[in-house]
Amino acid sequence: MDQIPHASGSRIASIATIGVLFFVMGWFTWINGPLISFVQLAFDLDVVNAFLVTFVAYLSYFVWALPAAWVLDRIGMKKGMAIGLWVMAIGALAFGEFCTRRWYPGALGGLFVIFAGLAMLQTAANPYISILGPIESAAQRIALMGICNKVAGILAPILLGKFVLHGMNDIADQVAAADAAGKQHLLANFAATIHAPYLLMAGVLALLGVGIFYSPLPDMRSERGKGAAFEGGQPKSLRQFPHVWLGALAIFTYVGVEVMAGDAIGTYGRGFGIPLDEAKFFTSFTLGSMLVGYLAGFVAIPRFISQQRYLAWASVLGMLLTLAALVTKGYLSVGFVAALGFANAMMWPAIFPLAIRGLGRLVDRGAALLIMGVVGGAIIPQLFAILKQTHDFQLAFSVLVVPCYLYILYFALRGYRAGQHPA
């Protein structure tokens, strides 16, 4: 087992601290949904360029996951998480400033930096919470973290929509009716509304980093014992653990469908002519259904059902809901897409511990490989943005999402056991 022994009180405090970090990760991950609508209007973009928000964000995970693992191996998880928060603070400052200047490449660069910090947090926090107890109940602990993550995900679009993106339909109408100079003035004023919120976020992140740095949070680097990844004192290669590679592909497909249901749902709803001022809140509906899914998983796993069996049923449910969205229209179709949040909720909590099981001291590298799989959130939604230009958007959505659920079903039934041997 890869479990790390801790006293009960210490473990509870550690779980609570990591829960705060999962709240932060959820806030910045799920704010991307309304940010797509924000940048499309503020920078006067088409859909494909607006979706660079998710492309750049999740591409950053792919680029920085392995360097993050290298840093964590040398300085430990606690310091690594503090550094991740400080990196995010720098990115938040840059994003707010470049939005105010209406320089889109700079704004995307700020997002890239924010998600570089998130890559550090994810690479540390997911294995950390997985090994704070028995691996068989890791999905339950990650589900608790997911509740923190999704509460933040519900709040972020609502608060951003209410206090920053309010009146977008009116602004869009004014922009359409204005002359060239008036248009630029209106868009500059609208873009500048994002500056103060991101300045505040940067300050909170910097202070939280200081709190983590000086906290009594245990440093797992020095406490991980020799696990299954050692033979004769020599570490094996990840190539000898096929299940972790299959798990990385499962993460790729899962994050792809998660972002499709969460961040792309506003664009999906706009395909039916639903107004911007309504569509900007759709991400919160998806996150609400995910929260219900996490609560269900927290109660059910492993008490009534194993994490791998739950994963299999969730993938089947995801396919059925996707097909239901395909054959319906309007708000009902959007509702089925939002309901994908329930199916998706327990996928990460189930895939991650199954994929890192038995890695021992290679858990950092395995976690980094899995975090690299998050790039699915960049690729699959971007394909949707491209395909919807020339194909029916509902059909494009289904053609991309259904195969992802099919692969997750394979991983739940067989893939997680690849190369594994009975203890």
pLDDT digits (tens, 9 = 90+) for 213-252: 988 777 665 344 444 444 445 456 777 788 889 999 999 9
Q: Is residue 65 over pLDDT 50?
A: yes
Neighbours of 392 (CB within 10 A): 13
Is the Cβ–Cβ distance between 342 and 320 less than 8 Å?
no
pLDDT score for 138: 64
Mean pLDDT of the 358-364 span? 75
For residue 157, which of 294, 51, 38, 19 has the smallest C-alpha distance? 38
Mean pLDDT of the 27-32 span? 87
Q: How far is residue 231 from each of residues 111, 226, 337, 359, measured CA to CA in Å?
A: 42, 9, 47, 12
Q: Is residue 29 over pLDDT 90?
A: no
pLDDT score for 136: 59
Phi-psi region of 372 (alpha: psi -120 to 50; beta: other; left: phi over 0): alpha
pLDDT score for 7: 47
pLDDT score for 308: 85
Weakest mean pLDDT among 82-91, 275-284, 300-309, 359-368: 359-368
Q: Is residue 6 over pLDDT 60?
A: no
Weakest mean pLDDT among 203-212, 270-279, 328-337: 270-279
pLDDT score for 257: 95
pLDDT tens, 263-322? 889 889 989 988 877 887 888 889 889 888 888 887 887 778 888 888 999 999 999 999
Q: Is residue 124 over pLDDT 50?
A: yes
pLDDT score for 224: 44
CA-CA-CA-CA dihedral for 215, 217, 221, 225, to nearest 10: 150
* pLDDT tier for residue 139 given thresholds of 50, 70 and 90: low
Q: Is residue 166 over pLDDT 80?
A: no
For residue 235, the surrounding DSSP H or E stretch is: strand 234-235
Angle at 38 between CA 324 and CA 171, to 5 degrees: 105
Mean pLDDT of the 148-166 span? 81
pLDDT score for 403: 97
Weakest mean pLDDT among 106-115, 240-249, 335-344: 240-249
pTM of the model: 0.78
* pLDDT tier for residue 133 given thresholds of 50, 70 and 90: low
Higher pLDDT, 120 or 281: 120
Across the chain, what does the average pLDDT equal?
85
Q: Show the domains of the chain with their CATH numbers.
A: 8-217+236-417 (1.20.1250.20)
Is the Cβ–Cβ distance between 217 and 14 less than 8 Å?
yes
